[in-house]
Structure 1
Amino acid sequence: MWFFFFCSGRYITFIMDPFQYVYVIRNSKQLEFYEFADKMASRTFGYPSLSNFPKLNENLHRIYQYLQGKPLDIISDHMMKNLQHIFEWKCSQATDWKTEKMYKFCSFLMFEASFITLYGRDPAADGHNVISEIRDKFTKFDANFPYLVANIPIELLGVTKKVRQELIHHFLLRNMAKWMGGSEVIQARKDILEKYELLQDYDKAAHHLAFLWASVGNTIPATFWAMYYLLWHPEALAVVRDEIDHLLQSTGQKKGPGYCIHLTREQLDSLVYLESALNESLRMCSSSMNIRISLEDYILKLGGNQEVGLRKGDWIALYPQILHMDPEIYEDPEVYKFDRYIENGKKKTTFYKGGKKLKYFLMPFGSGISMCPGRFFAMNEMKLFLILFLAYFDVELVEKKPIGPDNSRMGLGILLPDSDIAFRYKIKSF
C-alpha cells in the first residue's frame, strides 16, 4: 500500500507496506539520497555544497570505517573511560540523595563524554566549563534545527545565526589545535578537509559542527528515553540491573566509585535484556523519515506486480514509525515491553506481519544508503551510560508524571520529550 502527497510542485510517494520497503532500499541507482542530504546539511550548518568539491563526499564517508570493527572497540573504550570520569565527578556530589531533571542530566553527561571522546579537550582550560558553554550554544541551535531543515531562512530565527557562528568558531583549526586526546575519526576528517584548499577555514569548521550534531543530536534524547522507560517500569529496571550486576561479578569487576569497569564488545553484546530495553525505547521514540529522490522518470517495480510511476525529482518516502506501531507486528505497540526483543533468553530477530516474516521490523537508524554510519557507536554509548549509571547509583523517580514526545521533530530522528521530569540518585552502598 502507498499514498501520494503533493507539496510545492513535488509529489511525495509514501510506501506504507513494510514488505515493499526492500524495493525502495535496493534501488539506489534510480533513487538517490546524497544530493538531497547535501542540500539540507549545507543550508542547516552553513557550508557550501559538497558537489562543488570533487570526491569530498566520498572521502568523508570513507572515514566511517573508524566507527566499525577494531576502531569501534577503541573509541568505545575511550567513551567508557570518559563516562566513568564524569560519573566519578557526579559521585562526589551525590553522597546523599540528589535531585535533578532527567533530560538535563542525560544531556550533560552524554554531550561532555561524547565531545571529549571525539574531539578531545583543551588541557589548559576548565574542561567542564568550556564544554558546558559549547553545549549551551548547541542546545540553542538545536532548538531551531527543524526550522532550518524546513528551509526557513536562518535570519528569521532570532539569534540562531549568531549562535551557529559562535559554535563554528569553536571548530576553527586554530582552536581545535589546542584540543588533546581526540579520536581517529575526527583526525581523519581534519586531514581530508585540509586537502581541499578552496574550502575556507570557516567552512571546514562548519563541517565539524555538522558531525557534532550527527554524533549527539539523536543520541542524547535516545539516552533519555531509555533511562526514562527503565525508571518508569521498576520490573524492567530490576531485570536490567541484575543482568549488569551478574556480568560484572562474572568478570571479576567491582562496581562503584574508584573502580574501573572495562567491557569488551562481546560482553556488551551479551547483555540481551539491556539491548532489548534500548531497542524497545528506540521503537517508541524514533521518528525518522527515509527519503529518496527519483533521478529520472521511472517506474518503480514493487512486489505483487505493483508499480509506482515517478517523475524526475519526485520524492519517495518510508516512515518506519508506522511499522514500529503496527499492532500486527507488535502486540500492544503503545505499551513499553522491555523484553519484546528477547525469545527463550536470546535476542529475538524474527517478526511477522500477516503470518509472513519481515525483513525490516526495527529501523531507528534509517535504511540502505541513508543508514546512520555511527549506529554501532551510538548503541555502545547508550549501553555504557546505562551500565555505569546503574552500577554507581540507586535511583528513583521523584515525579510520577508520564512524558510524551514533542512531535515538532517528526520525521527527523529521535523525538525529544515534551517536558523534563525530576528524578533522584545517590551512590550505592557497597
Structure 2
Amino acid sequence: MIWTIILLIQAAILYCILTHRKRYKTDPPLDKGIIPWLGHALEFGKDAFKFLARMKKKHGDIFTVRVAGRYVTVLLDPFSYDLVLTDRDSLDFSQYATVLMDRIFQLKLPHHMQNQSKVIMKKHFLGMNLIGLNTSIGRHLHNLMKAELSVNQKDWKEEGLFNFSYSLLFKAGYLTLFGEQNNNVTDPSKIYKEYRTFDGLLTKLARGTLKPEEKKLSQSVRQRLCALLSPVGGGEEDSGAGSWVHSYRRMLQDEGVDHDTQNKALLMQLWASQGNAGPAAFWLLGFLLTNPDAMTAVKKEFRGISQTSETCLFNVKTPVFDSALEETLRLTAAPFITREVVREKTIHMSDGQEYRLRKGDRLCLFPLLSPQMDPDVHSEPQIFKHDRFLNQDGSPKTDFYKRGRMLKYYTMPWGAGVNGCVGRQLAIHSIRLFVYMVLTKYDIELCDRNAHMPDVNTSRYGFGVLQPEGELQSSHKDWRCAQWCSGGGTLESRCDTALQGLNWRLLLRAERRLLDHCPPHAPGLTPATETCLPASALLATC
C-alpha cells in the first residue's frame, strides 16, 4: 500500500514538472488557476461570460487560461479578429470541430468533407435555391400555425413562449430541409420531442460531463433520432434529387460512409440548421412583449406590408424589424469562435502590443463579451434597444466605433470569414416570417403583464444562441377583425358590457386589435376609452 502511495505521488510530481508552464515576455498574461490540471475548467463551464469578463478586467483583451489540461488563449480585441479569421496556415478550425462531432454525435468524418459539405450548402442555401427554401418554409409555417389554433377558437391558449417559438420554427425547418426533401413522413412533433431531450444534454456531451444515467439517455435518444431521420426505403430514393439533403447524403455515400454514420451526420446537420432560429425568435418576441415601444414600432412596420404575400416576405425591406432582430442577437448570440494553433503565430493588438501564440494551444474569440456587450461600442449594452441599429433617418446603422476607430465587427452572431454561417439568410427569413405571422395572425400577450425576461442558461455559452433558464408564460389566440366583431355578440354590445363593468382592459384590447389589423391608410379610430363607436362604424374603417 505504501509503495502505491509513493508511486502516485511520484507520478503527480512528474506530471507537474512535465506540464509546468512559464510565461515568457512575448506570451499573453497567463492564469493557470489554483487547481492542478483542472485550472479554471469548473468556472469556465458554469458561466463562461462571467468568468471571461473577470479575466478581461484582470488581464486585458488577451490572456491564456488553463482549462482541463489545455491552455486556451482568449482574444477579445475586435480590431485583431481579422488576423484570426483570415489565417488558415497557423490556425485550424477543423480539429476542434472534429472533437465536438465525436463527443456530441459519435461521428467521425474525414477532414476534407467539411469543405465539401460547405460547397453543397452554398449551392442549395444561396441564390435561386434560397427562394424555393423560403417559399417552402413559409408554407409550412402557415400550415403549422393554422393547426396550432383553429380559426374559430375563442379561448386563450397559455403556453411557454420558448416552447411555442422553438417548436413551430423547428418543425417548419425540419419539414423544409429533412421531411419533404428526405422522403421522410415522420411526424415533426415526434422529432421535436426527441430533439429537445437531446438538446438538453448537448453541453454536457460537448464537455464530457454526463452522469451515468444521462449517458444512457443520450445514447438512446441519439439512436431514436437517427432512426427517425433515416429516409423511407433506406435512403436510395431519387425523389429529392435536387435537394440539399439528397446531395449531402450522396456525398457521404460517394465517400464510402455507412448508413448509420450517414444518419448521425444528418442529426448533426439537424442541430446545426435548427438549433438557433427558434431560441432567437423567442428572445425577440419576449423583448417585444416586454418593451411596448418596440412592439408598437415593429407592428407599425408590419401593417405597412400586411397585403404582401407571406411567401414573398423576403423581398420586403423591414429595417425596424431587422434592427430589433440584430439587437436581439447582440444580446443572446454567444458562440465561441475556436481555432487550434498549429504553427506559432504573432498577434498584433490595437494598442500596439504583440503576443506570441504557442503551437498546441487553443485560441478562442468570444464576440458576446467583445464587441457585443462592450460599453465602449454599444451604450448601455445590457438594455434592449430596438432601434440601436437604425440611423435617425430610419436607414440601417452600420457605423460603430471603439476608442474613435470604426469597427468592422460590431456584432458577430453568424460568425465571420470562411466559416461564417451559410444558412444566415434562410434563418433571418424564417424568424422574420414567424414573428410577422404571430403579430398579424395572433392575439398574444404575457400571462403576467409585469413579467420580466428570464435569465439565460449559463451553461449554453459557447453554443450559439442562448436559451432561457425557465419559461416566459404567454397566452395567444387566433383573431381577425371580423371574428372580433362577430364572436360572442357585436362589438357594440361588447363595448356596452365593458362600460357597465368598467372593463377598461377589454376596451383597450378591442381598440388595439382593430388598430393593428387596419392598414396604415385607414381613417383614425375614436379611442375606445372615450367612446364606443357602433360596430358597423368600426368595421367600415378596416
Establish whether TM, by shorter chain, passes 0.5. Answer: yes
User: What residue number does 2:245 align with?
Assistant: 186
Cα distance change on mapping 1:286 and 1:124 into 2, 3 Å? closer
Q: How much has 1:357 moved relative to structure 2?
A: 0.7
- CA positional deviation for 1:148: 1.2
1:138 Cα shift?
0.7
The secondary structure found in structure 1 opposite 2:438 is helix
| CA pair 124-330 structure 1, distance change in 2 beyond 3 A | closer
Of 338, 356, 376, the residue aligned with 1:291 is: 338
* Contact 1:44–1:149 (8 Å) recurs in 2: yes
2:311 alignment partner, SS class: coil
Q: CA deviation at 1:304?
A: 4.9
- Tell me what 1:266 maps to: 315
Change (3 A) 1:211 1:26: same
The CA deviation at 1:420 is 0.7
**Over residues 62-109 of structure 1, what are the superposed CA-to-partner deviations in whole Å (9 max), with x where a residue is unaligned?**
111111122112101111111011112123164332222111111221
1:346 aligns with 2:395: yes
Gaps of 5+ in 1: 254-259
Q: 1:91 aligns with which of 132, 141, 149?
A: 149
Q: Report how far residue 152 of structure 1 moved.
A: 3.6
Amino acid at match of 2:363: I
- The alpha carbon displacement at 1:216 in A equals 1.2
Cα distance in 1 for partners of 2:235, 2:289 equals 38
* C-alpha spacing 1:366/1:99, structure 2 compared with 1 (3 Å): same
Q: Decide which moves more: 274-283 or 397-406.
A: 397-406
Deviations 1:322-369 (A, max 9, x none): 121111111111111111111021111111112211110011122223
Matched residue type, 2:138: M
Q: Are 1:407 and 2:458 matched, yes or no? A: yes
Contact 1:96–1:427 (CA<8 Å) still a contact in 2?
A: no
2:181 touches 2:245 (CA, 8 Å); kept in 1?
A: no
Determine the C-alpha separation between the residues in 1 that align with 2:436 and 2:157: 19
Q: How far did 1:180 drift?
A: 7.3
Q: Is 2:369 the counterpart of 1:318? A: no
Q: CA deviation at 1:203?
A: 0.2
> 1:37-48, aligned counterparts within 5 Å?
37-48=97-108
Residues 158 and 476 of structure 2 are in contact (CA less than 8 Å); yes or no, is this contact kept in structure 1? yes
Cα pair 1:272 1:347 within 8 Å, conserved? yes
Q: What letter is aligned with 2:459?
A: S
Structure 2 CA distance for aligned equivalents of residues 105 and 182 of structure 1: 33
The whole-number CA distance in structure 2 between the counterparts of 1:153 and 1:422 is 30
Report deviation, 1:370: 3.0
1:396 aligns with 2:471: no
Q: Partner of 1:334 in structure 2?
A: 382
For 1:13, the aligned partner's letter is T
Render the CA deviation track for 1:156-182: whole Å, top value 9, x for unaligned: 534111111111112234355689779
Aligned to 1:371: 420
Cα distance change, pair 123–381 in 1 and its aligned pair in 2 (3 A): closer
Corresponding residue number in structure 1 for 2:3: none
Q: 1:126, CA displacement in angstroms?
A: 7.8
Determine the C-alpha separation between the residues in 2 that align with 1:169 and 1:29: 39
Structure 2 Cα separation of the partners of residues 230 and 182 of structure 1 = 41
Q: Which amino acid aligns with 1:139?
A: R
Residue aligning to 1:228? 286
Q: Secondary structure at the match of 1:425?
A: strand
Counterpart CA distance in 2 for 1:196 and 1:171 is: 20
Report the Cα offset of residue 380 of structure 1.
Answer: 1.1
Structure 2 distance, partners of 1:351, 1:78, is 36
Q: Is the 8 A contact 1:117 1:181 kept in 2?
A: no
Give, in whole Å, the separation in 2 of the partners of 1:181 and 1:397. 42
Offset, 1:7:
2.3
Match of 1:131 in 2: 188
The one-letter code of the counterpart of 1:347 is P
Equivalent residue for 1:150, pick from 203, 207, 226: 207
Whole-angstrom CA distance in 1 between matches of 2:192 and 2:131: 26
CA distance in 2, matches of 1:180, 1:101: 38
Highest Rg: 1 or 2?
2
1:193-234 CA distance string (max 9 Å, x none)? 12122x211000000000000111122211110111111112
**1:117 alignment counterpart:** 176
Match of 1:32 in 2: 92
2:30 match: none
| Contact 1:73-1:264 at 8 Å conserved across structures | no
Tell me the TM-score normalised to structure 2 length: 0.72
- The answer to whether the Cα contact below 8 Å between 1:123 and 1:179 also exists between their aligned partners in 2 is no
* 1:277-330 Cα deviation digits (max 9, x unpaired): 111111111111111111123333444543221222211111111121111111
Q: Which amino acid aligns with 2:119?
A: R
Q: Counterpart in 1 of 2:67?
A: 7
- Say yes or no: does 1:360 pair with 2:372: no
Give the match for residue 69 of structure 1.
127
Deviation at 1:266, TM superposition (A): 2.9
**1:262: Cα distance to partner?**
2.9
Displacement after TM superposition at 1:48 (Å): 1.8
**Percent of aligned pairs with the same residue?**
28
Secondary structure at the counterpart of residue 385 of structure 2: coil
Change (3 A) 1:183 1:285: farther
| CA contact 1:39–1:49 (8 Å) conserved in 2 | no
Match of 1:256 in 2: none
1:248 is paired with a residue of what secondary structure?
coil
- The one-letter code matched in structure 2 to 1:340 is R
Are 1:99 and 1:424, in contact at CA under 8 Å, matched by a contact in 2?
Answer: yes
What amino acid does structure 2 have at the position aligned with 1:384? L
Change beyond 3 A, Cα 1:180–1:196: same
Q: Which residue of 1 is the match for residue 58 of structure 2? A: none
Q: 1:175 to 1:387 in 2, by over 3 A?
A: farther
**Contact 1:290-1:367 within 8 A present in 2 as well:** no
2:95 partner SS: helix
Partner of 1:257: none
> Equivalent residue for 2:160?
101
> Which range moved further: 345-354 or 57-66?
57-66
Q: Secondary structure at the match of 1:413?
A: coil
Query: What is the rounded CA distance, in whole Å, between the counterparts of 1:289 and 1:121 in structure 2?
Result: 33
Q: Which has the higher contact order (CA 8 A, sep 6+)?
A: 1
Shift of 1:122: 10
Q: Which amino acid in 2 is paired with 1:339? A: D
More strand by share: 1
Q: Secondary structure at the match of 1:48?
A: coil
- Unpaired segments ≥5 residues, structure 2: 1-60, 482-542
- Aligned-pair RMSD on alpha carbons? 2.4
